[in-house]
Amino acid sequence: MHASLFITCYNDTLFPETGRAVVSLLERLGVELEFHPQQTCCGQMHANTGFRAEAYSQAKRLVRLYSDTENVVIPSSSCVAMMRDQYPGLFEELGSESLRRDLAALLPRIYELSEFLVDKLGVDDVGAYFPHRVTYHASCHGLRGLHLGERPLRLLTRVRGLDFAPLPNIDRCCGFGGTFSVKNAEVSSAMLSVKLQDVLATKAEYCTALDNSCLMHLGGAMHRQYAGMKTIHMAQILASTESTPMESFQ
């Protein structure tokens, strides 16, 4: 199986360990990975802040870049949701007929990481070992955007050694929302504070998710508050084995 990794701009810059974990995990499962060096950003930040022209030009760039690719794997549900929910509207308004055709052909080949594992590779036991207590934050885009459903839990609960701690009010937003976190910093912080109470109450060692953006928000508050919990992208848990523990991706 071939797949091209769209790492996303912020994972590339701020969370390269997530990318390294995806590579380790997928190559372990026999996937031949490519990485397109011309990739930058999917346009989500611009689209969601109202910069439609900029978002469109990034969307156009991405669709052209991957038009010949067999599968695209993306370890970020909000970026995948951007492509599925917003690209069609952007192209309807600003794009050409050929671009719309290319998008329609590309969209079914785009996978969020847990979709790729469960739907495309057909695995839910990826052979991982992670002897820690972990809670799972279902990001809004994973939950309501992509309808990931049971996929993340199927993957997590089959990790050996993992002590799974369910998160109460799992459908509630952490308050990140991209530029919302700075445009409405105080409201965002109030939402974060409420979310953090639920997360910390699980007494987990790690809070995981399929979006580093939510985790950056939760983890930033945990660090500020000496909360005694860490965040970790699910790819890093799934990549961990007895011989290659999580620390080897840091």
Q: Which of 68, 97, 228, 243 binds another protein (CB under 8 A)?
A: 243
Q: Which of 190, 197, 203, 242 binds another protein (CB under 8 A)?
A: 190
Q: In whole angstroms, give the CA distance from residue 22 to residue 17.
A: 9
Q: Which of 117, 135, 177, 238 binds another protein (CB under 8 A)?
A: 177
Residue 67 CB: number of other CB atoms within 10 A?
14
Shortest reach from residue 190's CB to another protein, in Å: 4
Q: Of residues 134-163, which lie at the interface with another protein (CB under 8 A)?
A: 140-141, 144-145
61 vs 154, beta carbon nearer another protein: 61
Rg of the chain, C-alpha, whole Å: 18
Q: Of residues 96-125, which lie at the interface with another protein (CB under 8 A)?
A: none
Shortest reach from residue 14's CB to another protein, in Å: 7
Written as six digits, the tokens of 42 are 């999917």
Q: Which of 71, 77, 135, 188 binds another protein (CB under 8 A)?
A: 188
Q: Which of 163, 183, 203, 242 binds another protein (CB under 8 A)?
A: 183
Q: In whole angstroms, give the CA distance from residue 178 to residue 44.
A: 9
CA separation, residue 172 to residues 88, 143, 210 (Å):
27, 10, 15
- Residue 73 binds another protein, judged by CB under 8 A: no
Question: Phi first, then psi: what are they for 75, rounded to 5°?
Answer: -85, 50
The SS3 assignment for 240 reads coil
Written as six digits, the tokens of 101 are 């055709």
Binding mask 197-236 vs another protein (x if CB under 8 A, - otherwise)? Answer: -------------------xx-xxx-xx------------
Q: Which residues, listed in sequence order, are joined to residue 5 by a DSSP beta bridge?
A: 73
Q: In whole angstroms, give the CA distance from residue 3 to residue 107.
A: 14
- Residue 83 binds another protein, judged by CB under 8 A: no
Q: Of residues 40-59, which lie at the interface with another protein (CB under 8 A)?
A: 40-41, 43, 45-54, 57-58
